[in-house]
A and B are shown apart, each in its own frame.
Chain A
Amino acid sequence: MTSNTISEDDLYRTTSQYRLWSFSPEALASRRRGTHELALQRAWQHAPTSDGASDGAARGSSVDCLTVGEELRLVQRYCNQIRTTSDHFQWPVQVKATAVQYLRRFYLSNSCLTYPPKDIYKTVLFLACKTEATHMTLSEYARRISTDPDAVLAPEYKVMQALRFTLDVRQPYRGLKGVLMELLNMANGMVGEVIDAETRGAKELQASLLDLAKPSSDAKTPWKAPATGSVDVKHLTDRINAAYSAARTILDGPALLTDAYFLYTPSQILLAALQLADEPLSSFYLTTKLPISSDVRPKILATISTCADLLFSFSDAVIISKEERARLEEKLELCRDPSTRDLVQAHAAAMRGSDEDDEAKARKRKAAREKSRQEGEDLFGPRLNGVGAGGG
């Protein structure tokens, strides 16, 4: 609930979210393309061919594979699935926000072709439930989503790896609540003094809030100015609360189902949501934080606006239907990487394999030394006409 958004930004720069999971739109797009292409290569490696071409590209062109765009829509659909499942369990909002970001982050380095989201989303939701300190046993969770517990756990390490072992997701919810508190205090004349363009005392702040322009007709807030035109403190309080809940709805929907978290900081997201909810109110709030004279002001406002555009452009209609999902998943099977088909079995095998520490490792090292020695001795022998020959 600290009021200093600037220093919060400084702290934000030390977070893993900033270090590893913040991108420019171009970098994000190229990352996804790269992942998609790597996945196609993987799939082709295993895919049988009829024309005998060993060149991946030649084979790929003959098969109708899921595109990058289709992968994205499929992932978005499962993000939405996570939201509804988490809400159904009445878990705190942090759980779903974290789980959704886990899924989105997972698909920056993995493709649906390798790991279909229907295998992954239950795992990230359970993982988020654990990292956000919400308790539900695996057996209960699995029972309630009618899944085999092993299927929930099987991809867990894969997910951890894809998350680069960073589990913290910075979210805009607490920040938004802080803004709500501050605005309510100002509305009630309880803020001592704000230093902006000209220093304003509590009474002046309250007066400017009461005088604020009406929200525009396309604003997301349900609040309407009283017919009489004169706004009192009660009206103002209602206005602030209404803007808060409209902004909260945006944080729960569009902010989670777009790339907002990859592209913007939590405070930018919450201010963008507030701007869509009630623009005059959010501008007022910004001036109390960011003096009109500040050099960085235009840049910050521009960033918030582009974020608002992104959130505004989203509508529930873009989430694909159940039928469309089924169609994409069928299509996915055509280019499906077979090596990751049975995750439960792979997981069980990995867990059974005793750890390669200690003796096992020593044995392996010895074997490797032995092998390289032999290879060294046979350098001009078998390697030329033996092993290497198959490559052509």
Chain B
Amino acid sequence: MLKSPALDVPPEPPAKRRKTSPEPESDDNTPAPIINSTVKDLAAQLDEAERKKYVKGRKLGSGQYADVFSAHLLSDPKQVFAIKKIKIGPEVKEFGISYDSLREIRFLQELNHPNIIKLHAVFSTKSQNLNLVLEYLPQGDLLRLIQDTKGTTYTPADIKAWMLMLMRAVHFCHVNGILHRDIKPNNLLIAADGSIKLADFGLARAMADPFQPMTYNTITIWYRPPELFFQAQHYGDAVDVWSCGAVFAELIGREVLFRAWPETEINMVRLICEKVGTPTEDNWPGVSKLRGYVTPSEIIPLRPKEQWSASFRAIGEVGVDLLMKTLTLDPRQRLTAEGVLRHPFWTSEPRPSKLRDLPRRGGGKETMGEDLTQRGGELPTANGEGGKKRGDKVAKKLDFGIMTK
């Protein structure tokens, strides 16, 4: 059947199918080709036209639910993209198109912002795969830079530039009524020009009406705010701000701030109590009524500013103030994304680095596991303006060194 010579015979023109005898009910007519109709509907035409615009290239990487390929325009090979092809897993039988991909498509279609990964188009293939045409972001993600402690140095001004881009992206999501719910360094991709792009909207959701319960089982555990561990069902944009605070601290300290190990919720709550303070009715009115409210019996008072400053000295007093306000226990007292953008940090010295001065991907060598032993609290080699320039040069040299190997 597969290799039947009949396949080489051109399809019969429709005229030959005509019947001269009185026809039976249309039901019993010759089995029509199921998928290919010669006249395609408008949506199918548009879908096909989009698909044909791209030439798929090599695989760039693969994640939990997608493979990502490089691609370029057929009409202009200089225009490159990343095509994210959603994997079809066994869960398709139970759900159809997965929640993750629906969320990613839904929200990226609505968000057009310089610091949010741009979704140019979506098309499907005959075997019903969804393909997302994304902007190509060749510089890896922020986690790689943070972990590459040998090859990459960066300064407080660089951190300020990255955080500003992140906060603008998050603020834009929030004014559009969207919570990201998975902000962490490996979801912050870096564009060719060095700018940060918030990516991976697989866990995002629209802000709910105040009375509509939402799942608290979201956000990668290390970046999850305390209200979610306590199983608050009504939460808002403050959850993303906490995650941003954790990223901020990680950029400064070059280690995960709340690295619970093993990654259990109870360990996370313990760590938050140690590093920020125990959530109590005093610092968070109403917290004890949350369903999942459990804290270690020893109450640790809120960590005073001097202690924050001691650990995060490198970012300066104003920076430490902002950090504390993003990692405030009570979500209602925590700054909003807009509040963060209005904080004096951004306009105080040093000015955020220019895009072209930001460090690029350092070594290609994986530094897996090294961060387990690494001590944090200070920025390696970054001290003052002069130090920054030197640091930059070193980073670039290393970069070239590895490329020419």
Give residues in A with beta carbon < 8 Å to B: 11, 14-16, 34-35, 38-39, 41-42, 45-50, 52, 54, 92, 94, 109-111, 114, 126-127, 130-133, 137-139, 152-153, 156-157, 160-162, 164-168, 173-174, 177, 333-334, 336-342, 345-347, 349-351, 353-357, 386-387, 390-392
Contact A15 B110 (CB under 8 A): yes
Contact A38 B42 (CB under 8 A): yes
Quick check: is B26 within 8 A (CB to CB) of the other chain?
yes
Contact A353 B33 (CB under 8 A): no
Quick check: is B105 within 8 A (CB to CB) of the other chain?
yes
Residues of A within 8 A of B176 (CB): 11
Contact A161 B29 (CB under 8 A): no
Residues of B within 8 A of A50 (CB): 22-23
Quick check: is B126 within 8 A (CB to CB) of the other chain?
yes
Quick check: is B343 within 8 A (CB to CB) of the other chain?
no
**Residue from A48, A167, A334, A391 in contact with B29 in the complex, judged by beta carbons closer than 8 Å:** A48
Contact A391 B96 (CB under 8 A): no
Cα A48 to Cα B78 in complex, Å, equals 50
Q: Which of B6-14, B186-194, B394-402 lies at the interface with chain A?
A: B6-14
Cα A46 to Cα B33 in complex, Å, equals 10
Give residues in B with beta carbon < 8 Å to A: 10, 12-16, 18-20, 22-24, 26-27, 29, 32-35, 37-39, 41-44, 46-47, 56, 85, 88, 92-97, 99, 102-103, 105-107, 109-110, 112, 121-130, 175-177, 205-206, 209, 212, 214
Closest to A173 in B: B209
Closest to B177 in A: A174
Residues of B within 8 A of A127 (CB): 96-97, 102
**Residue from A137, A165, A349 in contact with B105 in the complex, judged by beta carbons closer than 8 Å:** A165
**Residue from A45, A153, A165, A353 in contact with B37 in the complex, judged by beta carbons closer than 8 Å:** A45
Residues of B within 8 A of A356 (CB): 125-127
Contact B106 A42 (CB under 8 A): no
Contact A109 B43 (CB under 8 A): yes
Contact A350 B110 (CB under 8 A): no
5 tightest A-B contacts by CB? A390-B13, A165-B122, A48-B23, A167-B106, A109-B42
Question: Given A131-B102, A160-B97, A174-B209, A355 and B109 touching (CB < 8 A)?
Answer: no
Question: Given A41-B39, A109-B41, A167-B105, A339 and B10 touching (CB < 8 A)?
Answer: no
Which of B19, B42, B129 has the most chain A CB within a 10 Å cutoff? Answer: B42
CB distance from A166 to the nearest CB of B (A): 5
Residues of B within 8 A of A353 (CB): 126-127
Closest to A2 in B: B175
14 interchain pairs, CB-CB under 8 A: A11-B175, A14-B112, A38-B42, A45-B37, A46-B32, A48-B26, A110-B41, A138-B96, A157-B128, A167-B106, A168-B109, A168-B110, A334-B26, A354-B127
Residues of B within 8 A of A174 (CB): 177, 209
Contact B37 A168 (CB under 8 A): no
Cα A164 to Cα B34 in complex, Å, equals 22
CB distance from A57 to the nearest CB of B (A): 14
Contact A346 B34 (CB under 8 A): yes
Closest to A123 in B: B96
Which of A114, A131, A337 has the most chain B CB within a 10 Å cutoff? Answer: A131
Closest to A46 in B: B32
Question: Given A14-B112, A139-B94, A355 and B103 touching (CB < 8 A)?
Answer: no
Contact A92 B42 (CB under 8 A): no
Contact B102 A152 (CB under 8 A): no
Residues of B within 8 A of A166 (CB): 106, 109
Contact A164 B29 (CB under 8 A): no
Residues of B within 8 A of A110 (CB): 41, 43
